[in-house]
């Protein structure tokens, strides 16, 4: 039986162009980029070429790109690198939202343990932060605002440009977790107005274990790893030249993720039409083009994931970083869903390689799986 992948928000396959670049680098460019001999300088050239490619994709300068091990480190470096800096005023305060990725929420929880106040902004029923709530939350001593660009579970995009304007007026650094956006849809960080922005390579064709943090020129960021003078003293450690090169190659790929919106809409509308008791979680107009989060009333989301996997289709019941958790999604709860409906929701996230034929097969599998699960469930939706 063939298996088809619809869980690209968890991770995407390594693109063939990236795989070739990665293997070439690992076999041929093995020098330390800090070494001054021939092999080291070859590695340095490859590293800086990758930095320029990432910067070109994000609309910034290469000196503003810090290579990291992925989205979690990028988020942690942004949050801790700003919030832990010595401040004149006390207490220090941080503003974030209730729907952030655990990489931000857990970092904020650690800041609270260190005595820093954190304000968690709510979202509306569409899953969006209200920009005016950010403005209202500003207090003396606010040192950082961190609001994600697009949510990993629902795909809902936040009013980042508007929040960036508010942050700039208040002279407060603004970080956005762009892991689900960067490398997928066009982003110009200069126009967006953020001060810090996280991306992760494995979301758009690079391997796991490499990412980047944009740090706008003039932003004073405290390093969280201490050692050598790598990454202009912002992130110590011998650079992952092969991984950085792969990230740069992934950033140069021309696949248009926006084209997935038509397939996503076909999947979504067909399910809503053919499966009773279904509804879409999240704002229909402000979403990533590849993502749909659907509630199947009376059906356990994990059961649906297993049923679809047995039929050859890989989907998710939430964030991959939270898999195995028995609690319902914190994102969906924050949007006002009941715990039962949150547990009954499934995420479909498309990517390069998904076709109309695969989507049609997935629709058939969803219809059959929902009918079967409801037949054996004590809660029947008619």
| Residues 285, 212 within the same domain | no
pLDDT at 382 over 80: no
Q: Which residues, other chains included, contact 284 with Cβ-Cβ below 8 Å and sequence gap of 6+?
A: none
From 201-210, 320-329, 353-362, 363-372, the region with the lowest mean pLDDT: 320-329
pLDDT at 325 over 60: no
pLDDT at 273 over 60: yes
Separation CA 7–CA 317 (nearest Å): 10
Place of tokens 């800096």: 85
Write the CATH number for 216: 3.40.640.10
pLDDT of residue 319: 55
Structure tokens at 19: 């795989």
CA-based R_g, the chain, Å: 21
| Residues 232, 296 within the same domain | no
pLDDT at 237 over 80: yes
For residue 380, tell me if it sits in a domain: no
Separation CA 40–CA 17 (nearest Å): 24
Separation CA 253–CA 295 (nearest Å): 33
Nearest 10 degrees: CA dihedral of 33, 34, 35, 41?
40
Structure tokens at 276: 């009773």
| Residues 128, 185 within the same domain | yes
Q: Which residues, other chains included, contact 135 with Cβ-Cβ below 8 Å and sequence gap of 6+?
A: 166
Per residue in 57-91, pLDDT tens? 999 999 999 999 999 999 999 999 999 998 766 78
Structure tokens at 69: 């091990």
Separation CA 215–CA 24 (nearest Å): 29
- Structural contact between residues 143 and 93, judged by C-beta atoms closer than 8 angstroms: yes
For residue 80, which of 244, 223, 271 has the smallest C-alpha distance?
A: 223
- Structural contact between residues 141 and 87, judged by C-beta atoms closer than 8 angstroms: yes
Task: Please identify which of the residues 60, 108, 251, 321 carries the catalytic annotation.
Answer: 321
Q: What pLDDT band is residue 321 in, cutting at 50, 70 and 90?
A: low
Domain count, the chain: 2
Domain edge (last residue) among 203, 218, 251? 251
Separation CA 324–CA 111 (nearest Å): 26
pLDDT at 209 over 70: yes
Per residue in 23-41, pLDDT tens? 999 999 999 999 999 999 9
pLDDT mean across residues, the chain:
95
Q: What pLDDT band is residue 326 in, cutting at 50, 70 and 90?
A: low
| Residues 337, 276 within the same domain | yes
Per residue in 101-119, pLDDT tens? 999 999 999 999 999 999 9
For residue 309, tell me if it sits in a domain: yes
| Residues 53, 176 within the same domain | yes
Is 321 tagged catalytic?
A: yes
CA angle in degrees (0–180, nearest 5) for 110-116-118: 80
Domain edge (last residue) among 229, 251, 273? 251
For residue 328, tell me if it sits in a domain: yes
Q: Greater confidence, 377 or 307? A: 307
Q: What pLDDT band is residue 352 in, cutting at 50, 70 and 90?
A: very high
Place of tokens 């509630």: 295
Write the CATH number for 345: 3.90.1150.10
For residue 189, tell me if it sits in a domain: yes
Range of the domain at 322: 4-12+256-375
For residue 97, tell me if it sits in a domain: yes
| Residues 126, 152 within the same domain | yes
pLDDT of residue 329: 97
Question: Average pLDDT, stretch 222-243?
Answer: 94
Question: Average pLDDT, stretch 207-220?
Answer: 97
Which residues on adjacent β-strands are paired with residue 156? 287
For residue 305, tell me if it sits in a domain: yes
pLDDT at 182 over 80: yes
pLDDT of residue 20: 95
């Amino acid at each position: 039986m063939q298996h088809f992948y619809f869980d690209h928000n968890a991770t995407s396959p390594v693109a063939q162009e990236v795989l070739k670049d990665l293997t070439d680098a690992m076999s041929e460019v093995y020098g330390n980029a800090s070494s001054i001999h021939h092999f080291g300088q070859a590695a340095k050239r490859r590293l800086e070429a990758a930095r320029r490619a990432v910067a070109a994709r994000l609309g910034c300068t290469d000196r503003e790109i810090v290579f990291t091990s992925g989205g979690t480190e990028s988020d942690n470096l942004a949050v801790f690198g700003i919030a832990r800096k010595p401040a004149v005023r006390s207490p220090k305060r941080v503003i974030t939202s209730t729907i952030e990725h655990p990489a931000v929420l857990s970092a904020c929880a650690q800041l609270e343990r260190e005595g820093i106040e954190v304000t968690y902004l709510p979202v509306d029923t569409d899953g969006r932060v209200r920009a005016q709530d950010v403005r209202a939350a500003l207090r003396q001593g606010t040192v950082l605002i961190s609001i994600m660009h697009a949510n990993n579970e629902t795909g809902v995009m936040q009013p980042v440009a508007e929040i960036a304007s508010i942050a700039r007026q208040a002279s407060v650094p603004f970080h956005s977790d762009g892991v689900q956006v960067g490398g997928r849809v066009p982003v110009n960080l200069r126009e967006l107005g953020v001060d810090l922005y996280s991306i992760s390579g494995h979301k758009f064709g690079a391997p796991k274990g490499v990412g980047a943090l944009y740090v706008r020129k003039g932003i004073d960021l405290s390093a969280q790893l201490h050692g050598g003078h790598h990454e202009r003293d912002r992130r110590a450690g011998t650079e992952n030249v092969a991984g950085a090169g792969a990230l740069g190659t992934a950033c140069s790929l021309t696949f248009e993720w926006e084209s997935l919106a038509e397939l996503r809409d076909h999947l979504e509308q067909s399910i809503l039409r053919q499966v009773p008791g279904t509804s879409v979680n999240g704002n229909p107009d402000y979403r990533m083009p590849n993502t749909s989060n659907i509630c199947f009333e009376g059906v356990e989301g994990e059961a649906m994931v297993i049923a679809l996997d047995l039929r050859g289709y890989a989907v998710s019941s939430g964030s991959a970083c939270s898999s195995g958790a028995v609690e319902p999604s914190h994102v969906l709860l924050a949007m006002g869903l009941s715990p039962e409906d949150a547990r009954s929701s499934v995420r479909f996230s498309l990517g390069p390689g998904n076709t109309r034929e695969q989507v049609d097969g997935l629709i058939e599998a969803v219809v059959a799986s929902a009918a079967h699960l409801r037949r054996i469930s004590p809660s029947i939706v008619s």
